[in-house]
Structure 1
Amino acid sequence: MTSSTPEQSPLGKAAAYAHQYDATLLFALPRAGKRAEIGITGAAPFFGADLWTAFELSWLNLRGKPQVALAHITVPCETPHIVESKSFKLYLNSFNQTRFADAAEVQARIRSDLSQTVWRGAPVAGSVGVKLLLPEMFDRQPVHELDGLSLDRLDIECTHYLPAPELLTAQTNEAPVSEVLVSHLLKSNCLVTGQPDWASVRIAYSGPQIDQERLLQYLVSFRNHNEFHEQCVERIFMDLWTRCKPIKLEVYARYTRRGGLDINPWRTSHPQALPAHTRTARQ
């Protein structure tokens, strides 16, 4: 398990697939640098987690027969590191020709390796959540879009394609409201490769009413922005938190999968249960 800068990660580089289990393939990236860019230098003003789905997980049983599963992984946002997604893909592929006693052993191995990677350097180490879904559970996995009032219904003019937080405004002189707003128009690009990342986003808040047209223009402004999924969601949260001054705020994005993995960051100003880990149609 290694860590440094995004440019030193496996992203954008040719990489051989390991044929046997190899935990050293995991590459950690510190959260602190990008958080400092958006004004977070101490404790973050949010709770939350990064919800991953691994669609391409396979290993061999003790008789050499291939096994398959889906995996749901929950990485708390309090971890000092994130996992670079290509390294996670290479790590999971290293299970393909490795024999394990059962799914429980695979689950425990993934939980241990990821926990060591993302909690490295923390004064108190925690764990990540890992749930394996075996084939008999596949048909119980629903597809459902994010609930809320669609911002995409608005007929707006868009001229900003790099983050423009100055677009955000709220009615601070009127009675507070509670709203849940959804858009499918969030697009950003990989920080290193520039490859497009597509997402649906849900914003739930209580407080001064946010101008919906300007909020949609703001979300569209990420279209040419290069940043990882987790960093984009935290940037959106902080821009809304500082400019619109809600009493409560929740930002949840579900990104389309790449390399058999999707990443779905969720940030909330107040403790609450995790959102349902349900994929959308584009995932």
Structure 2
Amino acid sequence: MSIHGILGEQTTDYPTEYSPETLYPIARSMGRDAIGWQDDKLTVGVDWWQAFEISWLNPQGISQVAIARFSIPASSPFIVESKSLKLYLNSINFTEFASWNVVQALIAKDLSACLQADVQVALFGLNDDINGHETALLIAQPEGVCIDEALADSTDKVALTEHPDASLLSENEVGASDESVANDGTQPYTFYSNLLRSNCPVTNQPDWGTLAVSITTDKPFDNANMLRYILSFRQHNGFHEQCVEQIFADLSQYYQPSELIVRAWYTRRGGIDINPCRVSDISLLPKPSRLIRQ
């Protein structure tokens, strides 16, 4: 994956004046072409970006601070390079704005222009969650069963793989693990793992996250196999969005689910965390949230 931008640069000049041109788009097709699956099925969902270093000046010249959530539709032709977003947000630190609404509208306009999609922006005050705001950035807990101990009783050593391995989903078919569930009909499974890890395709720095899946299928389901599959991402180079889409594609092809939700909460870097979510139907889209590691 060849990407030209500022993410891999050793030294960076941080702008001190409003600089929307700093925003750098990356085509989603780069990651989706590597997956080699039906692109249209990967466009249903949202990427929630949460930024914790938002600041600007009010008309009196006093610094204002906020937390932001950017909602980027999965149908957008581009994502934004994360470091370029950080630089862009820093570029408004010493710019005066009449109100919070003006700042919110400006960021939405600039991100929408960069990504060629309707990007929604919400700004939160640091005390919004204390006041019980429904949309504030409260700490949440993933739903379902944590599968991180699914291999605790196994004697097999989990190998380090260079790329995600979907064949692990069918390894040791039902009956080989106490975590296996043989079903006679369609049923739902909801689980999560805190062991998702991949690498940035530009800097090779590790990205850590929590993965959550809700799936309805008539195929046998095995927690141990699922954990092996998640661990196969540990040395994979891929953006957050591409990793979630790869998981969505692999689970869709192997389990043929009637309903599927795949989402991840990645830990923060540079004051920004990225949280992609893909669903088999837009009616299944969950609410945005953040976890304790964010």
4+ aligned runs moved over 3 Å, structure 1: 138-141, 170-174
- Structure 1 counterpart of 2:144, from 132, 143, 148: 148
Q: Distance in 2 between matches of 1:112 and 1:39?
A: 32
Matching residue of 1:72 = 69
1:101 matches 2:111: no
- Structure 1 counterpart of 2:233, from 222, 234, 245: 222
The alpha-carbon deviation at position 71 of structure 1 amounts to 0.4
Q: Distance in 2 between matches of 1:45 and 1:138?
A: 32
Q: Distance in 2 between matches of 1:153 and 1:278?
A: 24
Corresponding letter in the other structure for 2:280: S
CA 1:54–1:238 in structure 2 vs 1: closer, same or farther (change >3 Å)? same
Matching residue of 1:12 = 8
Q: Distance in 2 between matches of 1:277 and 1:173?
A: 32
Please list, as runs of the form range in 1=range in 2, the aligned pairs for 1:57-136 lying within 5 A after superposition: 57-119=54-116, 126-136=117-127
Q: Partner of 2:128: helix, strand, or coil?
A: helix
Residues 57 and 97, structure 2, Cα contact 8 Å, conserved in 1: yes
1:185 matches 2:178: no
- Percent of aligned pairs sharing the same letter: 40
The alpha-carbon deviation at position 42 of structure 1 amounts to 4.7
1:266 matches 2:272: no
Residues 176 and 209, structure 1, Cα contact 8 Å, conserved in 2: no
Matching residue of 2:212 = 202
Residues 57 and 71, structure 1, Cα contact 8 Å, conserved in 2: yes
Residues 50 and 74, structure 1, Cα contact 8 Å, conserved in 2: yes
Q: Distance in 2 between matches of 1:9 and 1:216?
A: 34
Please list, as runs of the form range in 1=range in 2, the aligned pairs for 1:34-53 lying within 5 A after superposition: 34-40=31-37, 42-45=39-42, 47-53=44-50
Matching residue of 2:178 = none
Aligned-pair Cα RMSD in Å: 1.8
1:216-235 deviation line (CA, Å, top 9, x unaligned): 00001100111100000000
Corresponding letter in the other structure for 1:144: A
Q: TM-score, normalised by structure 1?
A: 0.91
Residues 129 and 138, structure 2, Cα contact 8 Å, conserved in 1: no
Residues 43 and 75, structure 2, Cα contact 8 Å, conserved in 1: no
1:58-103 deviation line (CA, Å, top 9, x unaligned): 0001111100000011000000000010100000000111111111
Matching residue of 1:123 = none
The alpha-carbon deviation at position 114 of structure 1 amounts to 0.4
Paired positions, count = 273
Corresponding letter in the other structure for 2:216: S
CA 1:249–1:41 in structure 2 vs 1: closer, same or farther (change >3 Å)? closer
1:257 matches 2:261: no
CA 1:46–1:80 in structure 2 vs 1: closer, same or farther (change >3 Å)? closer
Q: TM-score, normalised by structure 2?
A: 0.88
Corresponding letter in the other structure for 1:142: L
The alpha-carbon deviation at position 7 of structure 1 amounts to 3.0
Q: Distance in 1 between matches of 2:37 and 2:120?
A: 25
Q: Distance in 2 between matches of 1:248 and 1:138?
A: 32
Residues 46 and 269, structure 1, Cα contact 8 Å, conserved in 2: no
CA 1:100–1:46 in structure 2 vs 1: closer, same or farther (change >3 Å)? closer
Q: Distance in 2 between matches of 1:220 and 1:259?
A: 25
CA 1:61–1:149 in structure 2 vs 1: closer, same or farther (change >3 Å)? same
